[in-house]
Amino acid sequence: MRARVLLIAVALFALLAASASAHPLGNFSINHLDRLRVSADRVDVTYILDQAEIPTFQERGLSSDAVLAKKRAEVERGLVLTVNGARVPLAVAGPGQISFPPGQGGLKLTRVVLPLVARVPGPRSVQFHDGTFPGRIGWKAIVAQPGSGTDVHSSVSSGDPTSGLRSYPKSALRSPLDERDATLSVKPGNGSLTAPKGPDQGEATTHNRSGDGFAGVFADAAAGRGVLVFFLLAALAWGAMHALSPGHGKTMVAAYLVGTRGRARHAVALGATVTVTHTMGVFALGVVTLLLSQWILPEQLYPWLNLVSGLMVVVIGAAVLRKRVASSQFRVPSHHHHGHHHHPADGGRRTADISPKGIIAMGASAGLIPCPSALVVLLAAIAQHQIALGLLLITMFSLGLAATLTGLGLVVVYANRLTSRINMSGRLVAALPAVSALVIVGAGCVLTAHALPQLVLRVMLAGP
Amino acid sequence: MAAVFAVALVVFMLVNRGSRVHDTVSDADNPAALVGASTDTRIKSFQALVRAHPKDSRGYGLLADAYLQKVRETGDASYYTRAGAVLHTALRLNPRDPAALTGASTLALARHDFRGGLDYAEQARMAAPYVVKPLGDIVDAQVELGRYAEARRTLHLMVDAQPNLASYARVSYWRELHGDLPGAIRAMKLAVSAGGQAAENVAYVQTLLGNLYFTVGRLDDSREAYRTALARFPGYVPASAGLAGVEAAHGRFSIAIRRYRDAVARLPLPQYVVALGETELAAGRRAAARRDLALVGAEEKLLQANGVNTDVDLALFEASHGSPARAVVLARRAWAQAPSVRSADALGWALTRAGRPAEGLRFGHRALALGSRDPMFLFHAGLSASAAGRAGEARAYLARSVALNRRFSPLYAPRAERALAEIAGGRLQVTG
Tell me, what's the pLDDT at A233? 79
Distance CA B247, CA B234 (A): 19
For residue B132, is it within any domain? no
Global pTM exceeds 0.90: no
Mean pLDDT along residues B150-158: 95
The least confident of A107-116, A192-201, B99-108 is A192-201
Of B93, B124, B155, which marks where a domain is finished? B124
Mean of pLDDT values over B310-314: 80
Distance of CA B345 to CAs A8, A257, B155, B170, B310, Å? 19, 73, 24, 21, 14
Output the pLDDT for position A381: 60
Say if residue B68 is in the same domain as residue B169. no
In a domain, B223, yes or no: yes
Check pLDDT > 60 for residue B10.
Answer: no
Question: Which positions 249-288 of A are in contact with B (Cβ < 8 Å)?
Answer: none
CA-based nearest distance B388→chain A, Å: 23
pLDDT above 80: residue A243: no
The verdict on B102 and B176 lying in the same domain is no
Torsion angles phi and psi, residue A154, rounded to 5: -115, 145
Q: Could you tell me which residues come within 8 angstroms of residue B389 by beta carbon, excluding any fewer than 6 positions away? A: B428
Residues B97-115 have a mean pLDDT of 91
- Contact yes or no for B9 and A241 at CB 8 A: no
- Judge contact between B87 and B97, C-beta under 8 A: no
Highest mean pLDDT among A181-195, A202-216, B200-214: B200-214
Q: How far is B312 from chain A (nearest CA, A)?
A: 9
8 Å CB contact of B9 and A231: yes
Domain boundary among B185, B206, B234: B234
Chain B nearest-CA distance from A2, in A, is 7
Three-class SS state of A81: strand
**Any CB–CB contact under 8 A between A217 and chain B?**
no
Contacts of B94 (CB under 8 A, 6+ apart): A384, A385, B57, B58, B100
- Averaged pLDDT for residues B169-194: 96
| Same domain assignment for residues B118 and B12 | yes
Counting DSSP H helices and E strands in chain B, the numbers are 24, 0
Coil/strand/helix, residue A307: helix
Q: Of all residues in chain A, what percent carry a pLDDT higher than 70?
A: 56
Question: Is B57 in the same domain as B110?
Answer: yes
CB-closest option in B157, B170, B269 to A13 = B269
B87 lies in the same domain as B174: no
Probe site for chain A from B10, B162, B302 (most A CB atoms < 10 A): B302
Query: Domain check: are B46 and B104 in the same one?
Result: yes
Q: Which of the listed residues B234, B262, B284 is the one where a domain comes to its end?
A: B234
Q: What is the DSSP letter of A350?
A: G
B62 and B116 assigned to the same domain: yes
Residue A334 has pLDDT above 50, yes or no: no
Nearest by CB to B110, which of A1, A13, A294?
A13
Same domain, B11 and B100: yes
Amino acid, res. B409: S
Contact B420, B398 (CB under 8 A): yes
Q: Mutual orientation of helices A356-368 and A387-421 as an angle, nearest 10°?
A: 120
Span B276-296, pLDDT tens digits: 999 999 999 999 999 999 999
DSSP B21-67: HHHHHHHTT-GGGGGT--HHHHHHHHHHHHHH-TT-HHHHHHHHHHH
CATH classification of the domain holding B188: 1.25.40.10
Name the average pLDDT for chain A: 71
* B20-to-B17, B53, B91, B364, B428 alpha-carbon distances in Å: 9, 31, 31, 47, 63
| A6/B302 Cβ within 8 A | no
pLDDT of residue A406: 80
Q: In terms of residue numbers, what domain contains B196?
A: 163-234
If you write DSSP's letter for every residue of A188-248 in order, what string do you get?
A: E-SSEEE-PPPTTS-STTT---TT-HHHHHHHHHHHSTTHHHHHHHHHHHHHHHHTTSTTS
Lowest mean pLDDT segment, chosen from B30-44, B109-123, B225-239: B30-44
* B352: in domain: no
A109 touches chain B (CB under 8 A): no
Residue B226, in any domain of the structure: yes
Count of domains for chain B? 2
Q: Is residue B168 scored above 80 in pLDDT? A: yes
Question: Could you tell me the strand order of the sheet in which A150-154 lies?
Answer: A86-88, A79-83, A125-130, A181-188, A150-154, A192-194
Element (H, E) at A389: helix A387-421
Q: Do B155 and B138 contact (CB within 8 A), yes or no?
A: no
**Cβ-based contacts of A369 with chain B (< 8 Å):** none
Both B7 and B103 in a single domain?
A: yes
A76: amino acid identity, one letter = E
Question: Which of A8, A165, A304 would you mutate first to test chain B, the one with the most B CBs within 10 A?
Answer: A8
Higher pLDDT, B97 or A387: B97
Q: How far apart are CA A73 and CA A60, in angstroms?
A: 18
- Confidence tier at A158 by pLDDT (50, 70, 90): confident
The span from the CA of B267 to the CA of B252, in Å, is: 22
Which one is predicted more confidently, A168 or A67?
A: A67
Contacts of B330 (CB under 8 A, 6+ apart): B309, B310, B311, B314, B315, B318, B346, B350
Is B77 close to A13, i.e. CB distance below 8 A? yes
Q: Name the residue with higher pLDDT: A429 or A50.
A: A50
Cβ distance A234 to B12 less than 8 Å, yes or no, reads yes
